[in-house]
Structures are given as structure tokens and as C-alpha cells.
Homo-oligomer: A and B are copies of this chain.
């Protein structure tokens, strides 16, 4: 069977940037699965796979279609039980939901406020119009208004990463001695920031930056190759 991952890109298909799609890329590599990635522009997602999902990632594995990065990870764990585990057992699967909630509520809002205009500028014109309309409606501000608070947002990023920094005193990955899907959840958020803005905006001596670099080195440094 062949596996296809539909992900998200701007005008340059070689720079897929969605945090959720990066979680899935890392999960597929963790499982040792080969796949072909098809990055889609925002406005191309609703027509992919006959409108299967309004959002990416979408995974096609043979005749099976799955959307949502966590659901895809659950699917992969179930479908490929002999490959390295993504969760390390039932407790790890449940707690990965807590890590996901932390990333969504604490890191994603900060990354959005830093990277919003950068993301807009990466898109093709038709997607720029879609992006501006949907994001300005959601945020209640123009992209340019968000942009003016960019430096403030950057200054709050280290604080948002306090839990991870504190944990890194005990172990090198959220998964323990090695990475699990919970690492890829937080990695995806910072990879999104790195690709869209060119930096993770963390000090060189920040243990979180060391952890991020360790993640970039995983699975043949595939994630490092996209910049």
C-alpha cells in the first residue's frame, strides 16, 4: 500500500509549514513509513480527496482516509503496532492529549501573534485574500495590527515554554529517553515558527532550543532540510 500525506504550503510547495502536518510527518518517520507528501495551498484543501476534510493533514493509506493529526497518530499506532510506538502505552496516549492542549492553548497563540504576517506573505495571492479574511475575522484585528505587537509576542515565548524547560531538567524528551508523539506535538508548533519566520526566537542557551535541535536531527534531519 502507498501512503499519501496532504499537507499545507504557501506559494513555494517546497516549504510546507503547518504545525499539525509536521506532527504527522514526524509520526510517519517515527513509524519508519515511507510516504509521498502533497502540500496544498489553503484554497486547495476543500477539494482534495473529494472534500474529505476542511483541514490538513489528511492521510491516505491505501483505501483508508484519516484527518486530524491526533487521529492520524492513533490510526498509525493501531495499524502499525510492530513499528516503534508513538505513545508508549495507554497512559502516554492519554497524556499526549494534555500536551496537545498545552501546545494549543499556550504556544499556538504566541506563534500566531509572531508569525501571522510572515505566513500571509508566503502565500499565493488567492490564498492571501482567504487568509486575511478568515484570520482578521477570528482575531478581531487586521494583520497589520497584530504585526505591531510582534516584539511583545516574541518576548512572551520563553514564558510559554516554562513547563517544557522545567521538565528538561529531568529527561531529554517529553517521551523520556527518546521522542514520542508528544514531542512532535510541541515540535510542530516551533517548526511552524521556524519555517515561517526563519527563527524559533529562543536564546542559544535555552534548554528548549537544545531540545528543538535534537528534534531537528531526528529521522535523517528531514525537518531541518526545510527552512
Give the B-binding residues of A (Cβ under 8 A).
Answer: 85, 87-102, 104-106, 162-167, 170-171, 173-177, 180, 182
Report B-chain residues with C-beta under 8 Å of the C-beta of A175. 91, 94-95
Given A98-B167, A98-B182, A164-B98: A176 touches B93 (CB 8 Å cut-off): yes
Question: How many copies of this chain does the complex contain?
Answer: 2
Of the residues B90, B98, B170, B180, contact of A174 by C-beta under 8 Å: B98
Contact A96 B94 (CB under 8 A): no
Contact B167 A100 (CB under 8 A): yes
Smallest Cβ distance from A107 to chain B, in angstroms?
A: 10
* Assembly CA distance A164 to B106 (angstroms): 11
Contact A174 B102 (CB under 8 A): no
Report B-chain residues with C-beta under 8 Å of the C-beta of A94. 88, 92, 171, 173-177, 180
- Chain A to chain B contacts (Cβ below 8 Å), 5 pairs: A88-B92, A89-B92, A91-B91, A95-B98, A95-B180
Contact A174 B92 (CB under 8 A): no
